[in-house]
Structure 1
């Protein structure tokens, strides 16, 4: 069984991912700021028959992430899979977002991914094996209003990952790096992210359950390719940015404000930008009634190679059938008299 490190493992997608990888013999190191929630996640891993190592830290601290990698290998042996999930965000207009808030989102969401990648790479490169999974977002490609700090951080991850991928190809390395670009997901972040809009936040529909995303991350780790675009909404967002970005600008200007806000007034509450929030909501947010467990588009993204093969075989079968039918049509055709 592999040794796996998951950052952001105490809640949301990271928590669901820890549960998905948990199995008899699995060795999973869990990174997040909240030691209490990490202990709860570790108990879930152990109940599934796996081993868990709890590593409470802030991924913005490069030295702490490096130390966590060292402790993981001391406890479990060589790291096989490293999954970067940790993130924070601020929901606000650009003009209302403070420089320190931009800095903090960048340090956790972008630099946290860089720190995790470097810690994994230093060890994997020496052994010439291993997989790094970057958990990104369709918003890395199609930015939306009110999410400038988050969109910028996720875009930076794409640029960083693309550079590293090219270097690995140049070096003919067997270390693989893959990215999973997410749609809207039903996680607790919408109740503890910093919010300056006065109304409660929600994911942009369609909304997916974290277990569907965790399944895709599991598949990406075991069958890495350049990127996975999860859900048709992610496909539309990314392709629209590539084909007609100006139209996309106008579309999100009209639609993306209201699609991120509910009608409920926001009450005073703590947020997790700098400190953890009490409680253990687990993997799910409050949108269970609107979220879906499965998506044909996610399935298609995960099984793209199989679909290409099936489509190719279908085309070959069609062509063969056409060829085999032609002699019969020739025999049946009335003969022309001289």
Structure 2
């Protein structure tokens, strides 16, 4: 079953397209190409958000750099914007939006926050959800295309909001926050002996300074606790809604298709709308009727070494095309309900808008 990509991109009900897949399959290029197609052919005001730190997206769109703010792609024949997630800036924006300036200043100065907003596991994926929620909330965009990180972490953004919300709403942090709520007493001056024993244990494991930093962080962040979980749940529901379409991007290779099968299974479990599989870099034959056997037999008979070499190359390519088709058919046979959009292998790497136009066109 073939996926009608133009119908998907032109559908006004489709507001978000999420591209996921393993590394090295052309996912970033695919996301950029889809965004360009939606803007140029279908007249949709489109922004593409990349979470992958690679610079290919900026280069292919003729931009010197990408950052946390949508930048207009001036050379595109439509309203196309591109941006790259800056997780620390996004976290800072969340703090500024949901606390007063004095509290925000305390949070920004806190060593634990500085580490968490830059390197904490799951922060990038959570902030991707925050940024997606921000973009959607402005109602400025007809279509938002999201390019996710490579490998299985491409679906971590489905889990990260809940993990981070659990952490920020967890028992240990709540206990650290309790003294401030009880009258501002330090976590090290708790009245009860049982809690004092627990605090000593935490101090021994984490270190006194870190515990102080964490305590100060959660005290300053108290007003935001409910918001983290609430916004995560709202965005999660958006990802399950009719307005979102997930595209699994893969190459016709066993490992990439195994990952694609994993993604498809996870999306089904999470009740996320899988629109289809984008099968990238599919090779094609210019003379499909010339079989491997005939090409090799002819190569043995011709007098021209150049012609003989061309025939052998055709035979090798024929074998590759047959192998790719076999792998693709195995995937679709196991998942007959998943439509497929095939992208021909390009003669060279995509490095400009014309190259992006060829991907989907």
TM-score, normalization: structure 2? 0.36
The answer to which structure has the higher strand fraction is: 1
Structure whose CA Rg is larger: 2
Which of 1 and 2 has higher RCO (CA within 8 Å, sep 6+)?
A: 2
